[in-house]
């Protein structure tokens, strides 16, 4: 049995390392694996979205993006709710750093949209700092209109593209 558990750990570690951003291996993962036997290696225990400390939980369950109105960088109330969740997660998982990506829809000139994306990313950064996160953990970058998520030329797509996305990774704060 001891041998089997060891095998399960190894497989689990391999699966984790194959997962983007899943570079953590903590107690709750191990707990799931301990219950596995040789006939039933329980992969769901590693499913990040169910693991509150996983990057998947951050990006999918809490939500890694907030949306903005046209030509605006003011946070909406639903955006603030999402960011409250992000701030809580980042406080708990203090070895993570964040880069906030600001984006714009295609209705604007390239340079202006870069600057607008910077405003949006900064609005998110300031909000997270106001919730107690260390400023050195959060950087910003703007992509302007260079990286749309949705490609149609209609408001339904534009609304998804006017966004700020919080990208997390483990590292040293600046």
Partner 1 sequence: MMNKFTILFAAIILAFATINSASAQEPLRLTLRDGVIEALPFALPTFQAEVVGSEDMALDISKVIIEDLNGTGLFRQISSSAFISRPASFGSVISFPDWRAINAQALVTGAVAVSGNQVTVKFRLYDVFSGAEMGEGLQFAGTADGWRRMAHKVSDVVYSRITGEAGYFDSRVVYVAETGPKNDRAKRLAIMDYDGVNVQYLTDSSAIVLAPRFSPSGDRILYTSYESGFPRINILDVATVSHQQMPTASGEMAFSPRFSRDGWQVVYSLANGGNTDIYRTDLVTGQNMRLTNTPAIETAPSFSPNGSQIVFESDRSGTQQLYIMSSNGVETQRISFGNGRYGTPVWSPRGDLIAFTKQNAGRFHIGVMRTDGTEERLLTSSFLDEGPTWSPNGRVIMFARETQGSDGTTGLYSVDITGRNLREVITPQGGSDPSWGPLQR
DSSP E strands, 31-120 = 65-67, 96-103
Of 36 and 138, which CB lies nearer to partner 1 in the complex structure?
138
Question: Between 91 and 135, whose beta carbon lies closer to partner 1?
Answer: 135
Stretch that binds partner 1, among 8-16, 39-47, 81-89, 142-150 (CB under 8 A): 142-150
Binding to partner 1 by CB under 8 A, coded x per residue (else -) over 37-66, reads ------------------------------
Q: Between 6 and 110, whose beta carbon lies closer to partner 1?
A: 110
Query: Residue 109 interacts with partner 1 (CB under 8 A)?
Result: yes
Rounded least distance, CB 150 to partner 1, Å: 7
Least Cα distance to 133 among 102, 92, 166 occurs for 92
Residues 6 or more apart whose Cβ sits within 8 Å of residue 34: 5
- Applying CB under 8 A, among 4, 14, 141, 170 the residue interacting with partner 1 is 141
Q: Is the dihedral of CA 45, 46, 52, 58 positive or negative?
A: negative
Residue 64 near residue 58, CB atoms below 8 Å: yes
Indicate left, alpha or beta for 101 from its phi (over 0: left) and psi (-120 to 50: alpha): beta
Q: Rule CB under 8 A: is residue 108 a binding residue for partner 1? A: yes
Using CA atoms, how far residue 130 sits from 21, 51, 53, 135, 137, in Å, is 26, 26, 22, 9, 13
Shortest distance, position 18 Cβ to partner 1, whole Å: 23
Q: Residues 4, 10, 14, 150: which binds partner 1 (CB under 8 A)?
A: 150
Residues lying near partner 1 in the complex (CB under 8 A):
73, 106-112, 114-116, 118-123, 125-126, 139-143, 146-153
């Amino acid at each position: 049995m001891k041998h089997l558990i060891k095998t399960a750990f190894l497989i689990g570690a391999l699966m984790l390392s194959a997962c983007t951003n899943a570079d953590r291996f903590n107690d709750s993962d191990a707990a799931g694996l301990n219950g596995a036997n040789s006939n039933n290696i329980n992969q769901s225990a590693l499913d990040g979205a169910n693991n509150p400390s996983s990057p998947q939980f951050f990006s999918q369950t809490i939500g890694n993006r907030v949306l903005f109105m046209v030509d605006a960088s003011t946070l909406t109330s639903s955006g603030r709710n999402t960011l409250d969740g992000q701030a809580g997660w980042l406080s708990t998982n203090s070895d993570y750093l964040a880069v906030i990506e600001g984006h714009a829809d295609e209705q604007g000139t390239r340079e202006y949209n870069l600057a607008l994306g910077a405003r949006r990313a900064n609005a998110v950064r300031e909000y997270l700092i106001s919730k107690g996160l260390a400023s050195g953990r959060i950087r910003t970058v703007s992509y302007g209109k260079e990286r749309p998520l949705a490609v149609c030329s209609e408001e339904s797509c534009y609304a998804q593209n006017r966004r700020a996305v919080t990208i997390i990774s483990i590292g040293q704060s600046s």
